[in-house]
Amino acid sequence: MLIEFNPKRIWEGKEHPSFVLYDYKAKPFYDFVQKRKGFTYAMQHPDREGLLKIGRTAKNPFIRAKNLSTAGILGTFELLQVAEFADACWGEKNIHKALLEFHEAKEFFRVSLLQVKEIFNHFISLENKLLEGLQRDILIQAP
């Protein structure tokens, strides 16, 4: 889930290294937030049962599935799971790490959809907790 917040400052902490100290009115902060938000998805090709592609996109994940399906591969990818992250790079990286034992090649993992859903939900929840903590720290330190 994408958490929208409007802090005056972003704090750099150990738990979420993607955040950098910026004034919220500054263009670099706006650019930073715009580049990081997006979707992490799991999709499957009908000819590859049990092999899931787990990636990220800043655009609509349904359009991403359609684009993959027209990239010289017969058949269409089916979108199975989508999570919206404030930092999609962080979400994808951590999901990939959690699924490392199931890794086949590139962004493909031989894993059950149930396991993927549990891992997606875990990292959505973790990002929400990190952002809530970040907001509390910002409000306490705000001038």
Express each pLDDT in 70-121 by its tens digit: 766 667 888 999 999 988 998 999 999 999 999 999 899 999 999 999 999 9
- In the predicted model, is pLDDT for residue 48 greater than 80? yes
- In the predicted model, is pLDDT for residue 66 greater than 60? yes
Confidence band, pLDDT 50/70/90 cuts, at residue 45: confident
Q: What share of the chain is helix, strand, coil (3-state, %, to 5)?
A: 45, 20, 35
**What is the residue whose two structure tokens read 């100290």?**
21
Pick from 56, 51, 45, 115: which is nearest to 83 by CA? 56
Q: What is the pLDDT of residue 74?
A: 62
pTM: 0.71
